[in-house]
Amino acid sequence: MIEDELGFEDKIWKTFLRRHWKISIVFLIAIIAVIIGAILVFLWFAGDAQATGLVPATLDLWTMGYLITFLLYLLLWEFLLVVIPVIVVVAAVYFLWWRRLPEWEREEYKRENLFFGRSSRRSNAGNGITFLVNVLFVLKVYIDGNWNVPFADWTFDYLVESYVFALVLVLVIFGIPAILGVTWWVRREM
């Protein structure tokens, strides 16, 4: 059955590429341009951040405060210079190209999940947990008073112990309710 589904998806992609090869080339060029643009914005901001003193030029002087500040400003500039223009272009493509396709063709692509595929919850399950572990790690560094301590002064043991602490805290946060829920369910069933 999986082979049938994969074969059918390949067929709908081949049909799309055969019908709309010009716009497919435009999409490919646009994706490459967005990736190059994001890399150029990153390189520009990294150089500018060092030149303006936002962050130290040598990594051994970086602190958690510098790292978080750098990442927040980087996300802001990437959003302003890459994401917003991409949203505008995608909206323009939608209104200028997608809306001009015949209704039967749009319905065919929607029915076969060409652009609007279903993502499985299983494939996206770990993203929230990883984010939470990293947030708890940053909070532990702040609470320990190591926010403005250069990374060069950290010991490897401190880094490992802080990450393990954050991981155990996440396991406790989700584990206790899970154990209570399973216990309640087992008692109810028996």
- How do residues 112-144 score in pLDDT, each as one tens digit? 766 665 655 555 556 788 899 999 999 999 999
- One domain for residues 113 and 129: no
Two structure tokens written together for 145: 């008073």
Higher pLDDT, 164 or 190: 164
| Boundary residue ending a domain (69, 100, 118) | 118
| Boundary residue ending a domain (56, 85, 118) | 118
* pLDDT number for residue 102: 84
Which among 39, 40, 74 is positioned nearest to 54, based on CA atoms? 74
Integer Cα distance of 86 and 84 in angstroms: 5
Domain of 19, in residue numbers? 1-118
Which among 112, 106, 104, 117 is positioned nearest to 11, based on CA atoms? 112
* pLDDT number for residue 138: 96
- One domain for residues 40 and 100: yes
The pLDDT of residue 81 is above 70: yes
The pLDDT of residue 41 is above 90: yes
Higher pLDDT, 50 or 9: 50
- One domain for residues 3 and 92: yes
Integer Cα distance of 57 and 109 in angstroms: 50
How many structural domains compose the chain? 2
| Boundary residue ending a domain (103, 118, 133) | 118
Q: Are 166 and 140 in contact (CB under 8 A)?
A: yes
61-78 per-residue burial string, b: 16 or more CB within 10 A, e: under 16: ebbbebbeebeeeeeebb
Computed over every residue of the chain, the mean pLDDT equals 85
Higher pLDDT, 95 or 44: 44
The pLDDT of residue 106 is above 50: yes
Collect all residues with Cβ–Cβ distance below 8 Å to 165 and sequence separation of at least 6.
Answer: 136, 140
* pLDDT number for residue 185: 86
- One domain for residues 84 and 136: no
Two structure tokens written together for 167: 């991981």
Higher pLDDT, 126 or 60: 60
Split at pLDDT 50, 70, 90, the class of 149 is very high
- One domain for residues 131 and 182: yes
- One domain for residues 103 and 33: yes
- One domain for residues 132 and 94: no
* pLDDT number for residue 2: 46
* pLDDT number for residue 38: 95
Integer Cα distance of 164 and 170 in angstroms: 10
- Rounded to two decimals, what is the model's pTM? 0.69
